[in-house]
Amino acid sequence: MEKSVRFSAVQSRLLWFFSLLRNLRGGLRIAFWLPVSRSAFRTTPTDYAVLAAFNVLVWIIGSGLRTGTEGGLNPSALPGMFTIIPVMLLVCLILSRLFRDASLLLAFAVMLGSTDLVFEVAGTAIFTVFETVWSDGPPLTQMSVYLLYVAWAVASVIRTQAILVPWGRRRSGIAALLLTAMVLGMAYIPRDEPWNTPDATQDDNETNPGLMQEEIFHVQGAVLGRDLAQLSPERPGVEDLYFLGAAPFSRQDTFVHELSVVKQLMDERFETVGRSLALVNHAGTVGAMPIATVTNLRLSLSHLGRVMNTEEDMLFLFLTTHGSENHQLAFEFPPMKLQQLTPTALSRMLSDSGIKWKVLVISACYSGGYIEPLKDANTLIITASDETHTSFGCEPDSEFTWFSRAFFDQALRNEANAGTFSLTNAFQRARTSVADMEVEKKLEPSNPQMFVGAAMRDKLKSLEARLAKLAPPATPMPAPPLGNQVNLSNQVRLRLPVALN
């Protein structure tokens, strides 16, 4: 009897294995548009459970290949994967109700999930090529490859529908739209990698211990309040300039170094001493400076709105970090999970602050996407790129991004030295300088952008005239030391691959 039970268990496992192979072979034929029918798949609940577990394993292995085999499992990423499974099952349930055939629920689930292995391998291969042999490839070409990849995934799910339900049937169009929306959602909704690099699993706690120390964690709550309280109040009859800068990406020194130089330039040449504030994510400053989070940015703008004469004074907001294609600015300080900044969120913060006159300078990839949501008659907006292109110079060993060096450290400094203080002239010079470097290195243009509100033009002239009267002699402006160095990088990249299960 015991031998019979063991034999039966082994037989069941073999059946699961061969059923899995059968479904994977069918998925391969779907993805590559080879002849296949519904009968090529096994669609019992057990078969789907085995396939789903296999796809999770493949996803983890693919993540390890993309991020490096050293490191460890990232448990926080697993809920995202397991959330996709019920979402896909819900889509399959809706499809079975649309076509009034209950058997289609598992048939859709198995056949859609059967292609995951193909797309995981293809996505990992594309990612590897982009990271190694083609790391300097034109961003537009990389984007085109990614869009073709997503289009392939959409075509595969539509083909799955055509195999299960003849295309001419009623509600076929609705089903196709639903499947397309599912694929696009899985392709573009951010999702953590389940396998972390050693930097993310180990160095975040070892080389960036600041926030892991309880006393520093609690001190941070008072640091922002202290710095806000030290801001000088507005001066009646004087059009004061207030500076707020944020370097929210902690994994490399580029941004915090850049901010330190810009803040010093503004303090010494644009009269913001006592009226400037910096939010920084860096292990070396965590006990002394307020960290850069979306919440702290909102609190800072709100406080400035109370300290400033909002009808007379001007805000200079400078943000330097990585940017993504969906126009989110990266706010990162592991081990914390921080909210990312969007154009809508920043627009709401500025509106709530009540500050009328604003200069916004954003040094990040795709930062041109912030112009349309933020522009008004009383605002000057300068971005390092347009809404569809990357900017340059944000490598871990860089002290400055290209645009910020050209705009702040060269053009604007020269304007101050000449006693003219023109932000718009400095932009034009910086744009030309960046374009020349891009041509020299044969890079796709980043196209820095500038928007000047109609009323802001006269306001800027008034500021320039006031500063020109106070202009001190030109002096060297060395950047202050940063303390401990952080040699980490976490560029915002295209997220590959698309997982259907």
How far, in Å, CA of 162 to CA of 108, rounded?
11
Q: Is the pLDDT of residue 85 over 60?
A: yes
CA–centroid distance for 414 within its chain: 33
Secondary structure of residue 144 in the 3-state scheme:
helix
More confidently predicted of 215 and 47:
47
Tokens of 133: 């042999």
Residue 10 pLDDT class (50, 70, 90 cuts): low
In tens, the pLDDT along 394-449 reads 887 788 899 999 999 899 888 888 778 899 999 999 999 999 999 998 999 999 99
pLDDT of residue 61: 87
Q: How confident is the model at residue 348 (pLDDT cuts 50, 70, 90)?
A: very high
Does residue 136 register a pLDDT over 50? yes
DSSP string, 4-41: HHHHHHHHHHHHHHHHHHHHHHHHHHHHTT----GGGS
| Between 199 and 190, residue with greater pLDDT | 190
Task: Name the region of 354 (left: φ>0; alpha: ψ -120 to 50; beta: rest).
Answer: left
Count CB atoms within 10 A of the CB of residue 302.
Answer: 15
Secondary structure of residue 368 in the 3-state scheme:
helix
Q: Which residue has the tokens 């169009």?
A: 173
Q: Please give the residue that has the higher pLDDT: either 283 or 54.
A: 54
**DSSP classification of residue 281:** -
The yes-or-no verdict on residue 27 having pLDDT over 90 is yes
Lowest mean pLDDT among 55-64, 202-211, 235-244: 202-211
Res 204 pLDDT > 50: no
Q: How far apart are alpha carbons 74 and 121 in whole angstroms? A: 20
Cα angle 225, 314, 247; round to 5: 50
Q: What is the DSSP letter of 77?
A: G
More confident residue, 408 or 7: 408
Q: What share of the chain is helix, strand, coil (3-state, %, to 5)?
A: 55, 10, 35
* In the predicted structure, residue 368 carries a pLDDT above the cut 50: yes
Q: What is the mean pLDDT of the chain?
A: 84
Confidence of residue 7 (pLDDT cuts 50, 70, 90): very low
What band does 479 get if pLDDT is binned at 50, 70 and 90?
A: very low
The domain ranges of the chain are 2-200, 209-470
Which pair of tokens denotes residue 422? 């023109």
CA distance 263 to 480: 10
At residue 340, what are phi and psi to the nearest 5 degrees? -85, 155
Res. 187 pLDDT band, cuts 50 70 90: confident
Look at 14-28, 61-75, 223-237 and tell me which has the smallest mean pLDDT: 61-75
pLDDT of 256-273, one tens digit each?
A: 999 999 999 999 889 999
Kindly tell me if the per-residue pLDDT of 361 is higher than 60.
yes
Average pLDDT of the residues in 90-114: 94
Q: Which residues of 178-202 are buried (b: 16+ CB within 10 A; e: fewer)?
A: bbeebbeebbeeebbbbbbbebbbe
Average pLDDT on 217-226 reads 76
**CA dist., res. 331 & res. 477, Å (int):** 28
Of 364, 295, 296, residue with least CA distance to 327: 364
Instruction: Write b or e for each residue in 150-166: b if 16 or more Cβ atoms lie within 10 A of its Cβ, otherwise e.
Output: bebbbebbbbbbebbbe
Query: Of the candidates 237, 107, 222, which has an alpha carbon nearest to the alpha carbon of residue 175?
Result: 107
**Top-confidence residue, 348 or 213:** 348
b/e for 310-320, b at 16 or more Cβ within 10 A?
A: bebbbbbbbbb
Question: Within 13 Å of residue 482, how many CA atoms lie on the same side as its CB?
Answer: 22
Given phi > 0 = left and psi -120 to 50 = alpha, else beta, which region is 366?
A: left
Give the Cβ contact number of residue 108 at 10 Å: 27
Work out the percent of the chain whose per-residue pLDDT is above 90: 59
Q: Which residue has the higher pLDDT, 394 or 361?
A: 361
Overall average pLDDT of the 331-340 stretch: 88
> CA-CA distance, 181 to 359, in Å (whole number)?
38
Average of per-residue pLDDT across 93-108: 94
Least confident of 65-74, 243-252, 327-336, 474-483: 474-483
Residues 320-348: what's their mean pLDDT?
Answer: 92
Q: What are phi and psi of 475, to 5 degrees?
A: -135, 155
The enclosing H or E element of 269 equals helix 254-269
* Cis peptide, bond prior to residue 481, ω within 30 of zero: no
**Residue predicted with more confidence, 334 or 97:** 97
Joined together, the tokens standing for residue 345 give 């969120």
Q: Span 209-470: which CATH code?
A: 3.40.50.1460
Please list, in sequence order, all residues whose beta carbon lies within 8 angstroms of the beta carbon of residue 265, skipping any fewer than 6 positions away: 408, 409, 412, 413, 416, 477
User: What per-residue confidence (pLDDT) applies to 12?
Assistant: 65
Residue 2 or residue 300, greater confidence: 300
- Min mean pLDDT across 1-15, 125-139, 166-180, 277-291 is at 1-15
Contact residues for 116 (Cβ-Cβ < 8 A; gap 6+): 27, 55, 58, 59, 499, 500, 501
Nearest CA-CA partner of 414 in 431, 426, 396: 426
pLDDT of residue 31: 94
Q: Are 280 and 256 in contact (CB under 8 A)?
A: yes
CA–CA dist 319, 358 (Å, integer): 13
